[in-house]
Protein backbone atom coordinates (compact mmCIF):
# COMPACT_ATOMS: atom_id res chain seq x y z
CA UNK A 1 0.00 0.00 0.00
CA UNK A 2 2.83 2.44 0.76
CA UNK A 3 4.32 1.96 -2.71
CA UNK A 4 1.01 2.73 -4.44
CA UNK A 5 0.57 5.87 -2.36
CA UNK A 6 4.09 7.02 -3.20
CA UNK A 7 3.52 6.39 -6.90
CA UNK A 8 0.36 8.49 -6.88
CA UNK A 9 2.15 11.33 -5.12
CA UNK A 10 5.08 11.30 -7.56
CA UNK A 11 2.67 11.66 -10.49
CA UNK A 12 1.86 15.14 -9.16
CA UNK A 13 5.38 16.29 -10.11
CA UNK A 14 7.53 16.86 -13.15
CA UNK A 15 10.77 14.99 -12.57
CA UNK A 16 14.29 14.80 -13.99
CA UNK A 17 17.32 12.90 -12.71
CA UNK A 18 21.05 13.39 -12.95
CA UNK A 19 24.16 11.68 -11.64
CA UNK A 20 25.85 13.73 -8.93
CA UNK A 21 29.61 13.29 -9.04
CA UNK A 22 29.91 14.81 -5.56
CA UNK A 23 27.33 12.48 -4.02
CA UNK A 24 28.19 9.46 -6.15
CA UNK A 25 24.55 8.67 -6.87
CA UNK A 26 21.48 9.61 -8.86
CA UNK A 27 19.64 12.72 -7.71
CA UNK A 28 16.00 13.41 -8.60
CA UNK A 29 14.68 16.94 -9.08
CA UNK A 30 10.93 17.53 -8.69
CA UNK A 31 8.70 20.49 -9.56
CA UNK A 32 4.96 20.36 -8.81
CA UNK A 33 2.82 20.01 -11.94
CA UNK A 34 0.89 23.18 -12.68
CA UNK A 35 3.62 25.51 -11.43
CA UNK A 36 4.99 25.78 -14.97
CA UNK A 37 2.57 26.20 -17.85
CA UNK A 38 2.98 25.94 -21.59
CA UNK A 39 4.41 29.19 -22.95
CA UNK A 40 5.72 30.47 -19.59
CA UNK A 41 9.06 32.28 -19.57
CA UNK A 42 11.13 30.87 -16.71
CA UNK A 43 14.12 32.23 -14.83
CA UNK A 44 16.06 29.19 -13.64
CA UNK A 45 17.90 29.86 -10.36
CA UNK A 46 20.72 27.65 -9.12
CA UNK A 47 22.48 28.30 -5.83
CA UNK A 48 25.74 26.58 -6.84
CA UNK A 49 26.70 25.64 -10.40
CA UNK A 50 29.57 23.21 -10.58
CA UNK A 51 28.74 21.03 -13.55
CA UNK A 52 26.18 20.73 -16.30
CA UNK A 53 24.23 17.75 -14.94
CA UNK A 54 22.03 19.52 -12.38
CA UNK A 55 21.35 22.47 -14.66
CA UNK A 56 20.42 20.13 -17.50
CA UNK A 57 17.87 18.41 -15.24
CA UNK A 58 16.24 21.76 -14.42
CA UNK A 59 16.14 22.73 -18.10
CA UNK A 60 14.54 19.37 -18.97
CA UNK A 61 11.73 20.03 -16.49
CA UNK A 62 11.08 23.47 -17.98
CA UNK A 63 10.99 21.98 -21.50
CA UNK A 64 8.68 19.11 -20.47
CA UNK A 65 6.21 21.66 -19.13
CA UNK A 66 6.21 23.41 -22.51
CA UNK A 67 7.77 26.52 -20.99
CA UNK A 68 10.83 28.45 -22.19
CA UNK A 69 14.00 29.28 -20.30
CA UNK A 70 14.08 33.08 -20.18
CA UNK A 71 17.37 33.20 -18.32
CA UNK A 72 19.63 31.64 -15.74
CA UNK A 73 20.73 33.07 -12.38
CA UNK A 74 23.60 31.36 -10.57
CA UNK A 75 24.48 32.50 -7.06
CA UNK A 76 27.94 30.84 -6.96
CA UNK A 77 29.78 29.39 -9.96
CA UNK A 78 32.51 26.88 -9.14
CA UNK A 79 33.58 25.83 -12.64
CA UNK A 80 33.40 26.97 -16.22
CA UNK A 81 32.29 23.62 -17.68
CA UNK A 82 28.57 24.35 -17.31
CA UNK A 83 28.88 27.78 -18.95
CA UNK A 84 30.03 26.27 -22.24
CA UNK A 85 26.94 24.04 -22.30
CA UNK A 86 24.62 26.96 -21.55
CA UNK A 87 26.00 28.77 -24.58
CA UNK A 88 25.31 25.67 -26.72
CA UNK A 89 21.66 25.77 -25.59
CA UNK A 90 21.29 29.41 -26.70
CA UNK A 91 20.45 30.74 -23.25
CA UNK A 92 21.31 34.41 -23.70
CA UNK A 93 20.53 35.79 -20.24
CA UNK A 94 22.98 34.40 -17.70
CA UNK A 95 23.88 36.19 -14.47
CA UNK A 96 26.49 34.92 -11.99
CA UNK A 97 26.59 36.65 -8.61
CA UNK A 98 29.92 35.15 -7.45
CA UNK A 99 32.50 33.19 -9.44
CA UNK A 100 35.02 30.88 -7.76
CA UNK A 101 36.36 29.48 -11.02
CA UNK A 102 40.00 28.47 -11.31
Domain definitions of the chain by residue range:
2-99
What whole-number percentage of the chain has pLDDT above 70? Answer: 91
CA distance to 50, 53, 91, 94, per residue, from 84 (Å): 12, 13, 11, 12
Please tell me which residue, 4 or 98, carries the higher pLDDT value.
Answer: 98
**Whether the model pTM is above 0.95:** no
Q: What is the mean pLDDT of the chain?
A: 88
Which tens digits make up the pLDDT trace of 5-40?
556 577 789 999 999 878 889 999 999 999 999 999
| Cross-strand bridge partners of residue 57 | none
Which CATH number is 2-99 given? Answer: 3.40.50.2020
Amino acid sequence: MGFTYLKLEIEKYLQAAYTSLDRGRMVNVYVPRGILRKGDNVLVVRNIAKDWASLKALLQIVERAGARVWGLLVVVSISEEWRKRVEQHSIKRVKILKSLED
